[in-house]
Structure 1
Amino acid sequence: MAEDKLLEVINLQKHFDVGRNKTVKAVDGVSFDILRGETFGLVGESGSGKSTTGRTIIRLYDATGGEVKFNGEDVHGKKSKKELLKFNRKMQMIFQDPSSSLNPRMTVLDIIAEGLDVHKLVKNEKERKERVEELLEVVGLNREHATRFPHEFSGGQRQRIGIARALAVEPEFIIADEPISALDVSIQAQVVNLLKRLQKDRGLTYLFIAHDLSMVKYISDRIGVMYLGNLVELADSEELYNNPIHPYTKSLLSAIPLPDPEYERNRKRITYDPTVHDSSEVPEFREVSPRHWVRCTTKEFEQYKKEAAQK
């Protein structure tokens, strides 16, 4: 239903000029919706355009073309400082590398309180300190950590500080841009479980960007797969894993290792060959089966529909 859509991405494009009349089409006509309260996973290999999509949605990059609508309002059409401030409070971002996204010269108190200061959400220093200390406890850290500096923490703890900073302004929507890729495997699940708990407690909506498909499946309701600036497949999480359709998605799934020696000995890695597609027709995003979309040509669409009907 339209009223359930928190975010609408419509034919989004982000192109970069790289000199000598060359243009990199990092995001080239991507469209998807994110429903209120869900986690939408965006996956793909490095260079697929997934992080650029997230950064363009939140206006860290200006869009080359297309639209982004948040609560029905055009994100990139906003002009006044007041409107931008209101938008920035509703949408926050958690970055990939907590080491580089936290100012090493600032205490944890000042890092987390930045949003509180900008949006004037506290009346005095006492309230400011209390809010930060509460947020530290919410993300699993101690109140005493407020006086320390980023270098005194582990990678997992720094990412918790980044999450607390994003939560400080009480956003509706959070873009998590590969938030666990820089962390040890033993810490990744802890951070993902924290994000899931916060979503439940605070009614948050997430865009979760990652290349680790197994973790994306664990946290996401729906998943979109990106390849070279395009969305090539989109489906409910379980459906995408159990019935992948696009050859690129099959390639990504075949690369996931499992803790099963017998399976690993016999696992066949599928290599994606982009030349298998009919180059005489520009592929379009089509619904092959209910809620399962694939970027394909007319001929591929008929083939995929036939295969889906046989399952």
Structure 2
Amino acid sequence: MNKDKILEVKELKQHFRTSKKSVIKAVDGISFDIYRGETFGLVGESGCGKSTTGRTIIRLYDATSGEVKFNGVDVHSLKSKQEIKSFNRQMQMIFQDPYASLNPRMTVKEIISEGIDIHGLAKNEKEKTDRVHELLETVGLNKEHASRYPHEFSGGQRQRIGIARALAVDPEFIIADEPISALDVSIQAQVVNLMKELQQKRGLTYLFIAHDLSMVKYISDRIAVMFAGRIVELADSEELYSNPLHSYTKSLLSAIPVPDPDYERNRQRVVFDHDSYNPEGATLREIKNGHWVLCTEEEFKKMK
């Protein structure tokens, strides 16, 4: 794998104050790197902080503390309009809900060409139209779709439009925030295959956020498992599946259904006790090369 870091996240925290003056620690001090050209999977249950992580990286939220460096520059220190505009072009997001993320009053052409207009990427109307048509064909739609409105498309087609919109400004890095969770299972594989194909052709880097471990394994080079605002395990995709070490990772993996009736009848679920889990004194430690686990000194010695 290319060891050129495109993204460095260090001790990132995202805390929200509620109306009752309490603090929700959505992201509580996480660190990881993403290398150019790879797909980094971020997995966990709803409410674990994975989407908040993605939104903080792309500056939809200001970080409470910590650092996010993209191509060596701290994104939360960008001040000038020009710097922010350049960053917004290099990093794009594909959203979870293909129904809510497209403006129903805009045609497909208007939706896709918004970024082209903002960044001045077309000299004239004809060049812009040609670019939109090319993007539609790139994501498996056709140019006749450009004049239609979002309500005329299925969920899978809308997500393709969302991908075309993200690609319109030629980004280097795409955050895909649960891009397939709102789609039928039969359509999910099509969208993931499209993303893999685009990655190879365009040299893209992905942060792929999801709660479905089976699909994440299929697309990711490395996977980080997140629980209650912290990363509990991080390893290469194959290593994580074949040798899970944290009890939470084991419970997630044991819940993946297998198309084998005999196996399913006798399957042993690993139950993770959310309420009694206490990560006090635990830090992310490297058990073996590239395999990190949130554990105490004592647990670390046992795992080694």
Which TM-score applies when normalising by structure 1? 0.96
1:14 corresponds in structure 2 to: 14
The answer on whether the counterparts of 2:175 and 2:207 sit within 8 Å (CA) in structure 1 is: yes
C-alpha contact 2:2 2:36 (8 A) present in aligned 1: no
Misfit runs of 4+, over 6 Å: none
Amino acid at match of 2:218: Y
**Percent identity (aligned):** 73
| CA–CA separation in structure 2 for the residues paired with 1:135 and 1:277 | 47
Q: Distance in 1 between matches of 2:85 and 2:274?
A: 43
Structure 1 residues 9-47: Cα deviation after superposition (integer angstroms, max 9, x where no partner): 000010111122201000000100000000000000001
What are the residue-to-residue correspondences of 1:288-299 with 2, within 5 Å?
288-299=287-298
Aligned to 2:116: 116
Kept in 1: contact 2:233–2:292 (CA 8 A) = yes
Name the aligned partner's letter for residue 304 of structure 1. M
Q: How does 1:172-251 map to 2 (within 5 A)?
A: 172-251=172-251
Code of the residue aligned with 1:257 in structure 2: it is: P
Return the alpha-carbon distance in structure 1 between the equivalents of residues 23 and 288 of structure 2.
Answer: 35
Q: Residue 99 of structure 1: SS of its match in structure 2?
A: coil
- The 5 A counterparts of 1:123-142 are 123-142=123-142
Match of 1:35 in 2: 35
8 Å Cα contact 1:278-1:297 kept in structure 2: no
8 Å CA contact 1:139–1:163 kept in 2: the answer is: yes
1:69 offset after TM fit, Å? 0.2
- Contact 1:92 1:173 (8 Å CA) reproduced: yes
The number of equivalent residue pairs is 304
Give the Cα–Cα distance (whole angstroms) in 2 for the partners of residues 3 and 245 of structure 1. Answer: 25
Q: How high is the TM-score relative to the length of structure 2?
A: 0.98
Question: What per-residue deviation string (whole Å, max 9, x for no partner) do you get for residues 147-197 of structure 1?
Answer: 000000000000000000000000000000000000000000000000000
- The 8 Å contact of residues 254 and 268 in structure 1, kept in 2 or not, is answered as yes
Counterpart of 2:77 in 1: which secondary structure? coil
SS of the residue 1:294 aligns to: strand
- Which range moved further: 174-183 or 263-272? 263-272
Q: CA deviation at 1:2?
A: 9.9
Q: Would the alpha carbon gap of residues 241 and 160 (structure 1) be closer, same or farther in structure 2, given more than 3 Å must change?
A: same
Give distance in 1, aligned partners of 2:18 and 2:267: 40
| Residue type of the alignment partner of 1:143 | K
Distance in 2 of aligned mates of 1:213 and 1:274: 19
Q: Specify every segment of 5 or more residues in structure 2 that has no aligned partner in the other structure, as ranges.
A: none
**What SS does structure 1 have at the residue aligned with 2:99?**
helix
Partners of 1:278 and 1:90 lie apart in 2 by 39
Partner in structure 2 of residue 54 of structure 1? 54
The aligned amino acid for 1:36 is R
* SS of corresponding position for 1:98: coil
Q: Which whole-Å CA distance do the structure 1 matches of 2:196 and 2:176 have between them?
A: 12
| Aligned-pair CA distance for 1:275 | 6.5
Q: Encode CA deviations 1:255-308: one digit per residue, 9 max, x unaligned.
A: 0001000111011111112566676x5211100111100000001101111xxx
- The change in CA–CA distance for 1:278 and 1:81 in structure 2 (over 3 A counts) is closer
1:301 counterpart residue number: 300
Counterpart for residue 285 of structure 1: 284
Alignment of structure 1 residues 58-97 onto 2, 5 Å? 58-97=58-97
- For 1:308, the equivalent position in structure 2 comes to none
- Conserved 8 A contact 1:67-1:74: yes
Residue 117 of structure 1, CA deviation: 0.5
SS in 2 for 1:25: strand
Q: CA RMSD in A?
A: 1.3
Report the counterpart of residue 146 of structure 1 in structure 2.
Answer: 146
Deviation readout 1:190-216 (Å, 9 max, x if unpaired): 000000000000000000000010000
